[in-house]
Amino acid sequence: MHAPFDVLIVGCGSSGAALAARLSEDPARRVAVIESGPDYADVDALPQDLRNGNRMSLDAHDWGYRADIFRGRDIRLPRGRVTGGSSAVGATIALRGMPSDFDEWAELGNPEWAWDQVLPYFRALETDLDYGDSALHGGTGPIPIRRWRPDEMTRWQNAFEEACAAAGYDRVRDHNDPDATGFGAIPSNRRDGFRRVSTAEAYLRPSDGRPNLTVFAQATVDRVLVSGDRAVGVEVRSSSGAVETVTAGTVVLASGAINSPAILLRSGIGPREDLEALGIPVTRDLPGVGLNLVDHPRSGIFIIPKDGTLDGENAFLQSILRTTSRSGETTNDMQYYMVNHFSLDPFPHLKRLSQASLINGVMVCQQRPKSRGRLRLTDPDPRSEPQIDLNFLSHPDDVDTMVEGIRECARLMRHDYVMANRERQLILRDEDVDDEDLVRVYLKATLDSSYHPVGTAKMGPAEDDTAVVDQYGRVHGIEGLVVADASIMPNIASANTNLTSIMIGEKVAAQIEERAA
């Protein structure tokens, strides 16, 4: 049994590492963070899959989750299981959402999260190596952000940018400028050209040695312990299976949009009917726990390139097009990018369809889908995986938008270099793109997740019966329990979610500091 901590953080990923570092800056505050995966002592100790930002790590440090994406089709849903979380295994895309995303959060009853309120925390997290300290960018934050230089782009990326220009899109110098729309180099959190910089490296390692910060690695939280209406600690299971109790004045769940709601449900916090069906005593009836699951759906047009035209050592993403669909209700509701190389080994359904292992092509990711999914427990045992229903394409507008996106992918692929260096196009032929029914069938066969789940413990005022936390991350009806990760987003941002998740950690840490002052 440990002496009580002032703040106990569950999960040391994109948000959790930022919380741990910021809150432990006060030497009088005893902080602990619990991480289910390993914690590597320094950069030199990192395995190659975590060092190499040129490809995602989908196996070695993963939770192994599966999700129902569309009418019973099962896919993998990778989530990082290591200090740094998904920031340690992802594609190093350091994009902010649009100002309208955060202003919408404010309009939903969370004025603390309007664009002008979150911008200072986006600036605080970064050292922008291209633009430095300015009204838009930070120059002293933990995360280094750089953009690919023209001389670093592969010929495939040059072809993609030339195709974007020919299609009438504008070139963008800084995708993190709120007014930017068009194509240009992706901002990336990496060093030395290829090395991924996770929140473990950026936030946690500089905090090593603080006597008031304790890191419990390879330990999994079963549930939050609640006495009356107050959280008092957590029940933790070590890798050996031993269970112990860790107590704290404040418990912060920062385990992500899959694990944070699962912990809440195992703690008896969630929809009464679902909890009673599983035999879990109800601590607090909160119907919104596990609801409102949102992710970015993706598909694309893919080819098998001719031998010798791909170099698997290059970064697989370098340039991106952000634009607005014909029916888009917000700016930049679509992303397009060419992958330099893309392995189908982790995607057996696509591998069977294409009869190929390594491909490239232009992908489309819908940024503001209207479909909503749900997360449920199948068993009260914390070792059982939750049921994850992404429910993609359940809203008809999403189908129409993604069909438009696939057709735009096909247009951007009709570049002279691409046409001259493709062995064959996969599944959907050039002449099939104008066939509405065929494109819809193709979409359903190739649909996948962008691995950006959010929203399963959304923030909102207490009168919203689907809200789980208030705008400070505090769980409605439970004192001393806070959620601070992607699960609290009331709607998904129009960008890859890692940078927004780090910002959430920064902002909630500041809110906790303000309340303690």
180 contacts: CB under 8 Å, gap ≥ 6: 172, 173, 174, 322
DSSP state of 200: I
**Token pair of 426, please?**
């996969």
Active site residue 137: no
**Beta strand 195-196 with 213-216: parallel, antiparallel or unpaired?**
unpaired
The single residue of 61, 175, 341, 452 carrying the catalytic annotation is: 452
Collect all residues with Cβ–Cβ distance below 8 Å to 421 and sequence separation of at least 6: 305, 306, 309
Contact 190, 196 (CB under 8 A): yes
Residue 462, judged by CB atoms within 10 A of its CB (0-12, 13-18, 19+), counts as exposed
Q: Look at residue 488 and give its three-state secondary structure.
A: helix
Label residue 117 left, alpha or beta by phi (over 0 means left) and psi (-120 to 50 means alpha). alpha
DSSP string, 338-358: EEEEEE-TT-HHHHHHHT-SE
Distance CA(403)–CA(432), nearest Å, equals 12
Contact 443, 406 (CB under 8 A): yes
Give the span between the Cα atoms of 28 and 20, in whole angstroms.
14
Among candidates 418, 191, 394, 397, which has minimal Cα distance to 301?
418
Give start and end residues of each alpha helix (H) in 246-286: 256-266, 272-277
Quote the DSSP letter at residue 434: T
339 DSSP β-pair partners: 361
- The rounded distance, in Å, linking the Cα atoms of 434 and 174 is 34
**Cβ atoms 184, 317 nearer than 8 A:** no
Closest among 15, 113, 26 to 472, alpha carbons compared: 113
Active-site amino acid positions: 452
